[in-house]
Amino acid sequence: MKKTALITGATSGIGHATAFEFAKHGIDLVLCGRRLGRLETIQKALSKLTNVYILNFDVRNKEEAFKAIQSLPEKFKNIDILINNAGNAHGLDIISEGSIDDWDAMMDINVKGLLYVSKAIIPGMTERKSGHIINIGSSAGKEVYPKGNVYCGSKHAVLAITEGMRIDLNPYGIKVGSINPGLVETEFSQVRFKGDKIADTVYQGFKALQAEDVAEVIYFAVSRPPHVNIADVLMFCTAQANSTIVKKEF
Ligand code: NDP
Ligand code: 8X3
């Protein structure tokens, strides 16, 4: 039977690549993000392959998030697969110099935004006693690196919440897992460094993971048979050993 997936952060990077990967496999899509123009462009491109509905909201705003999800038309209402992907890092500073606005943004988007969207979608899954939730964590949810303090904290929270969801949703037969990549070449560093040219150097000298590499793993997880749940994946590019060791060609 055709499934419907809701992907947050579908306008760029991992979420965007996942939308394309899912469309290729005929999964119906509800694509979310703040940049409406991008959502419309992606909808136009993917509508040739599958049914696509777009929802334009900021995950930080719980009223907007609930209103958007509740507004889904009948055809897209039953979300089989939730990909909680929207997120980002803001700044890279030692804890004494970090900006409170950056901290708020990371906790509000990466942690609270994920919770709001989940809260709006999980009741439908528990009612139907089926569903699959994949939270996009990070290697930063398993390790802490210098100046990563609050971003790493937000991603550790994502991992703890994922495990909590898996426990609590177990009686309903709902699959819950996390995919945790290391360095992926997306708009992530443009956002983290607020457009500063240092962002251009982050992925230089080695081949970082590409958004499509992560999307393929996400599709692998959602395409397993009903008795198999991919609970936790840590993935790096070959050049990366952990959060602080990356083999560069210069
Ligand atoms: P991108 O910056 O390319 O994409 C981030 C996506 O999140 C965009 O589609 C953006 O859409 C959306 N988003 C950001 N803030 C909000 C918000 N307030 N409300 C709604 N949507 C929002 O980064 P990535 O693809 O790399 O990041 C995706 C996820 O992967 C994040 O959770 C990130 O932490 C995680 N990750 C990234 C890694 C990396 O190295 N790139 C490694 C490990 C994990 P819009 O701006 O249109 O709202
Ligand atoms: C993104 C990976 O190492 O830039 O979550 O924090 S890292």
- Supply the ipTM of this predicted assembly: 0.99
Q: Is the dihedral of CA 234, 237, 240, 243 positive or negative?
A: negative
Provide the residue type at 189 as one letter: S
- Low-confidence residues in the chain, pLDDT < 50: none
For residue 109 and ligand 1, the question of a CB distance below 6 A is answered with yes
pLDDT at 250: 75
Nearest CA owner, ligand 2 atom 4: 183
Residue 172: the pLDDT is 98
Write down the catalytic residue from 53, 116, 151, 203.
151
Alpha carbon of 143 to ligand 2 centroid (Å)? 10
CA–centroid distance for 120 within its chain = 16
pLDDT of residue 1: 85
Q: Which residues is 32 bridged to in the sheet?
A: 55
* Cα 128 to middle of ligand 1, angstroms: 29
Return the residue whose CA atom lies nearest to atom 9 of ligand 1.
9
> Does 243 contact ligand 2 (Cβ within 6 A)?
yes
> Is 151 among the residues known to form the active site?
yes
Going by C-beta distance under 8 Å and a sequence separation of 6 or more, which residues neighbour residue 212? 17, 20, 21
Q: What pLDDT score does 248 carry?
A: 97
Ligand 1 pocket, residue 106 CB under 6 Å: no
What DSSP state is assigned to residue 110?
Answer: I
Instruction: Assess whether the C-beta atom of 177 lies below 6 angstroms from ligand 1.
Output: no
- Does the predicted model carry a pTM greater than 0.90? yes
Task: Characterize 84-112 residue by residue with b for buried, 16 or more Cβ atoms within 10 angstroms of its Cβ, and e for exposed.
Answer: bbbbbbbbbeeeeebeeebbebbbbbbbb
pLDDT in tens, 59-81: 999 999 999 999 999 999 999 99
Atom of ligand 1 nearest to the CA of 35: 47
Q: How many angstroms separate the alpha carbon of residue 97 from the centre of ligand 2? A: 19
Gap from CA of 199 to ligand 2 centroid (Å) = 13
Predicted local distance difference test score (pLDDT) of residue 188:
98
CA distances from 69 to 8, 45, 65, 74, 143 (A): 11, 22, 6, 11, 33
CATH number of 4-235: 3.40.50.720
Q: What is the pLDDT of residue 54?
A: 98
CA 193 / ligand 2 centre spacing (Å): 13
CB 87 within 8 A of CB 110: yes
The best mutation among 12, 92, 111, 151 to test binding of ligand 2, ranked by most ligand atoms within 8 Å of the C-beta, falls on: 151
